[in-house]
């Protein structure tokens, strides 16, 4: 019974980190532009994050070492520092975008001045993360984040072309009007893939495994949580693409604002659907902001050897706590410049594709190492998938920046 | 000491060159005249916003939206419309796009007015109809510009 | 420390240092060795001055400018045992490695509830 509860809560956490403002907007916008053609990317990305999420959890359980411990040991100080700085930059930008997204949702629910709501969101996050335990944060944001499932429900009631949906799951090229649109499509493939495999998901997941005190006997638990949790997350991503294709595309709407996305559940379920959609987004974005700030602090503490962890009194891990507080503060300053959160997360998603191989290569190296992992070393499946995604992401990393420039930020 | 100093200056020079070229590329792209596909992107954004505006009004009328949501979402969308319009009013386009740019500015101005009226209680219905009516002309202009870009 | 042979890069460099109370004290940023043919470890070095020395010249100077040039030298005889981390014989405060004496502690301990849990 206790195990079942632990599995359920673990799944919630895995699901929770899946949806954030970037992935939400890319999925729906991608569906609105290209119909169901991007659905295969959701599957590819989900299997990818399952592969590396499971690996990072297994490594943490078996070696009790978090991701950036390994990066420093395997890659050395200089290369490791480069990865750390890149990961911090991505987490900072993503956190900023999520804070902006939360402020937008608050404005849509209650009205008010956007900049004031950004400050309110900051105070909310600082208070929640400071006073709640790691497990409590996971549970609150995980459970309340389930509200976003209203999008899955709404997707079922739309006027869907089910046979076209099915064929979207096979890698394909959409029917487009100009040849430039193919480049935009590839940009969305890269961006969606990246937003599904954002590195903070593995950093935070492994750090969480350590906060929860996992040991080698938790390896199977890890596998179950990762597969079921991320599968549910994928269901949500699929629903978002379907919403984009079945609801927005026929109306020639390409959503660039989170509020626009909420029109879909509003159509199907009325005001209740609208409120559930907005609240779901609030907790999804909020959870992502927290995960990014904390993972930045974890990464820095793990890399530099500081005392870390929310399970002790803050005064015993002062640098770790100061780190996440600073990340929230700097992220808020970024958003207060008035920059569009969706633009910010777009850049952070593209930039993170470039650093994904830097993060995953040491992880794969450790998980393949029988000296470190003992009997829990990568089997043939994990090894093949690990290499496949490392190569795929390296290709995506090279293509990302040119595509961003040529397609004017994915617009054409 | 000498080798270390030399390395420092070489590395600094390289980083400075990279930053300088990024700044130059950015400055150039901001000031150069718009191409057909870039103009099409902005028209597409306006088209999307118009269609959303119309849909939102319909949903509000059938009670599917809260008043707070409608008012604030329209405000956010209107901000986007205004900044798109300002962009169009202040940019140059390539010579063969003069007409298209003029048409873009004209349509953008009408979208701006429609959004301004959408938030006024008495005028919203008419504004929603106006916004909806602008979707087709905007799409036509967008397609025209995309064809132009293909040449 | 009773080991005779040590693979420096795999077992010592960049490893976590813990004190006698198992408190985390930073990483092995650099190693001081002596000898010509038979090398011997004399001390482990911790701090930005040591770590930044492993960066390219420009990065090194920027790092020292931003984060200081602190160096803490731990004589080899102070090392107790090496497993997957480097354990010292004395508490962190003896080496100046106690986080609770620094700038971060001063700020964090002022906040309400920082002593709880």
**Average of per-residue pLDDT across A293-320:** 94
* Number of domain units in chain B: 2
Structure-block tokens of residue C30: 């650099």
- Asked if residue B65 and residue B16 are part of one domain, the reply reads no
Contact check, Cβ <8 Å, B135/A252? yes
Claim to verify: residue B98 and residue B38 sit in the same structural domain: yes
Put simply, whether A77 touches C (Cβ < 8 Å) is yes
Co-location of B27 and B56 in the same domain: no
Between chains, do A78 and C117 touch, taking CB under 8 Å as contact?
A: no
Same structural domain, B46 and B120: yes
B24 with B61, same domain: the answer is no
| Average pLDDT over chain A, rounded to an integer | 93
Judge contact between B89 and B106, C-beta under 8 A: no
For A10-39, write each residue's pLDDT tens digit: 888 777 777 899 999 999 999 999 999 999
Chain B contact for C54, CB < 8 A? Answer: no
Q: What is the CA radius of gyration of chain A?
A: 20
C69 and B24 in contact (C-beta within 8 Å)? no
Contact A208, A287 (CB under 8 A): no
**Is the same domain home to B95 and B28?**
no
Which of A124-128, A368-372, B103-107 has the least mean pLDDT?
A: A368-372
DSSP code at position B35: P
Q: Do residues B2 and B54 both lie within one domain?
A: no
Q: Do B50 and B124 belong together in one domain?
A: yes
Does A305 contact C at CB distance below 8 Å? yes
Instruction: Kindly determine whether residue C57 and residue B11, on different chains, have CB atoms separated by under 8 Å.
Output: yes
Give yes or no for a contact between A334 and A118, defined as CB atoms under 8 angstroms apart: no
Q: Does B144 touch chain A (CB under 8 A)?
A: no
Q: Please list every residue in chain A whose beta carbon sits closer than 8 Å to the beta carbon of residue C105.
A: 315, 318
| Bigger pLDDT: C17 vs B34 | C17
Q: Do A267 and B150 touch (CB under 8 A)?
A: no
Average pLDDT over residues A115-139: 95
Give chain A positions within 8 Å (CB) of C111. Answer: 130, 314
Question: In terms of residue numbers, what domain contains B2?
Answer: 1-32
pLDDT at A412 over 80: no
User: Is residue C55 classed exposed, middle or buried when 0-12, 13-18 and 19+ CB atoms within 10 A define those classes?
Assistant: middle
> How many CA atoms lie within 13 Å of A300's alpha carbon, on the beta-carbon side?
22
Asked if A400 contacts A354 with a C-beta cutoff of 8 angstroms, the reply is: yes
Cβ–Cβ of A318/C109 closer than 8 Å?
yes
Percent of chain A at pLDDT exceeding 90: 78
Residues B28 and B39 in one domain: no
* A interface residues, B as partner, C-beta within 8 Å: 104, 107-111, 177-180, 251-257, 259-260, 262-263, 266-267, 270-271, 273-275, 278, 408, 411-412
Instruction: Grade residue A192 by pLDDT with cuts at 50, 70 and 90.
Output: very high
- pLDDT value of residue C1: 56
Rounded (5°) CA angle A108-A343-A20? 60
Residue A50: its H or E element: helix A39-63
Residue A108 has pLDDT above 70, yes or no: yes
Contacts of B5 in chain C (CB under 8 A): 57
A 307-326 residues inside an 8 A Cβ radius of C: 307-308, 311-319, 321-322
Q: Do B68 and A263 touch (CB under 8 A)?
A: no
Looking at the fold, whether B94 and B65 belong to one and the same domain comes out as yes
DSSP C15: P
**Measured distance CA(C17)–CA(C92) in Å, rounded:** 10
The residue ranges of chain B whose pLDDT is under 50 are none
Q: Name chain A contacts of B41, Cβ cutoff 8 Å.
A: 408, 411-412
Q: Judge if B63 and B16 occupy the same domain.
A: no
Same domain, B24 and B80: no
Instruction: Compute the nearest-CA separation of C28 from chain B (Å).
Output: 24
CB A399 within 8 A of CB A190: yes
Closest CA to A324 of A290, A284, A286, A287: A290
The pLDDT value recorded for residue B121 is 76
Structure confidence by residue, pLDDT tens digits, A232-281: 999 999 999 999 999 999 999 999 999 999 999 999 999 999 999 999 99
DSSP 3-state of A410:
coil
Query: Which distant-in-sequence residues (6+ apart) come within 8 Å of A183 by Cβ?
Result: A403, A406, A407
In the three-class reduction of DSSP (H, G, I as helix; E, B as strand; rest coil), residue C36 is classed as: coil
Amino acid B68: pLDDT = 95
């Amino acid at each position: 019974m206790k195990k079942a509860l632990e599995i359920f809560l673990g799944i919630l956490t895995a699901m929770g980190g899946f949806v954030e403002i970037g992935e939400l907007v890319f999925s729906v916008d991608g569906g609105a532009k290209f119909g169901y053609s991007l659905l295969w990317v959701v599957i590819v990305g989900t299997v990818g994050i399952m592969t590396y999420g499971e690996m990072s959890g297994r490594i943490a359980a078996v070696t009790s070492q978090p991701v950036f411990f390994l990066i420093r040991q395997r890659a050395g100080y200089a290369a490791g520092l480069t990865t750390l700085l890149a990961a911090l930059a991505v987490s900072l930008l993503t956190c900023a975008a999520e804070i902006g997204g939360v402020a937008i949702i608050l404005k849509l629910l209650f009205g008010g001045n956007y900049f004031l709501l950004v400050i309110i969101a900051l105070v909310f996050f600082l208070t929640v993360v400071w006073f709640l335990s790691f497990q409590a944060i996971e549970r609150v944001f995980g459970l309340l984040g389930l509200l976003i499932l209203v999008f899955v429900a709404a997707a079922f009631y739309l006027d869907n072309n089910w046979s076209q949906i099915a064929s979207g799951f096979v890698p394909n090229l959409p029917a487009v009007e100009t040849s430039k649109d193919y480049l935009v499509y590839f940009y969305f493939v890269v961006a969606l893939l990246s937003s599904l495999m954002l590195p903070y998901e593995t950093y935070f997941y492994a750090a969480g495994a350590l906060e929860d005190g996992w040991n080698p006997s938790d390896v199977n638990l890890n596998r179950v949580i990762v597969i079921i949790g991320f599968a549910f997350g994928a269901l949500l991503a699929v629903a978002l693409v379907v919403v984009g294709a079945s609801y927005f595309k026929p109306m020639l709407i390409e959503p660039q604002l989170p509020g626009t996305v909420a029109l879909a559940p509003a159509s199907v379920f009325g005001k209740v659907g609208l409120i559930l959609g907005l609240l779901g987004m609030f907790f999804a974005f909020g959870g992502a902001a927290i995960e990014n700030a904390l993972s930045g602090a974890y990464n820095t503490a793990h890399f530099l050897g500081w005392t870390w962890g929310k399970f002790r009194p803050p005064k015993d891990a002062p640098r770790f706590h100061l780190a996440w507080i600073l990340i929230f503060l700097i992220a808020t300053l970024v958003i207060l410049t008035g920059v569009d959160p969706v633009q910010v997360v777009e850049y952070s998603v593209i930039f993170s594709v470039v650093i994904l191989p830097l993060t995953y290569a040491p992880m794969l190296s450790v998980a393949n190492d029988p000296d470190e992992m003992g009997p829990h070393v990568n089997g043939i499946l994990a090894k093949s998938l690990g290499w496949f995604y490392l190569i795929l992401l390296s290709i995506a990393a090279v293509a990302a920046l040119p595509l961003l420039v040529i397609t004017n930020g994915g617009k054409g | 000491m000498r080798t270390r100093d030399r390395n420092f200056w070489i590395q600094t020079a390289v980083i400075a060159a990279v930053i300088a070229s990024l700044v130059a590329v950015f400055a150039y792209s901001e000031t150069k005249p718009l191409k057909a596909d870039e103009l099409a992107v902005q028209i597409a954004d306006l088209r999307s916003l118009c269609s959303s505006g119309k849909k939102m009004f319909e949903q509000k009328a059938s009670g599917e939206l809260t008043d707070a949501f409608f008012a604030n979402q329209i405000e956010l969308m209107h901000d986007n419309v205004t900044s798109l319009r300002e962009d169009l009013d202040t940019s140059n386009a390539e010579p063969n796009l003069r007409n298209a740019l003029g048409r873009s500015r004209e349509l953008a101005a009408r979208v701006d007015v429609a959004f301004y009226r959408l938030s006024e209680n008495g005028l919203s219905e008419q504004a929603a109809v106006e916004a909806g009516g602008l979707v087709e002309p905007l799409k036509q202009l967008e397609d025209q510009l995309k064809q132009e870009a293909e040449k | 420390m009773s080991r005779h042979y040590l693979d420096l890069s795999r077992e010592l460099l960049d490893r976590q240092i813990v004190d006698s109370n198992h408190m985390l004290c930073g990483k092995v940023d650099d190693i001081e060795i002596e000898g010509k043919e038979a090398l011997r470890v004399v001390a482990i070095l911790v701090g930005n001055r040591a770590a930044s020395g492993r960066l390219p010249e420009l990065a090194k100077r920027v790092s020292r400018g931003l984060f200081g040039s602190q160096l803490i030298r731990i004589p080899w005889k102070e090392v107790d045992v090496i497993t997957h981390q480097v354990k010292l014989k004395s508490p962190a405060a003896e080496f100046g490695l106690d986080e609770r004496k620094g700038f971060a502690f001063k700020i964090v301990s002022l906040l309400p509830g920082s002593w709880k849990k």
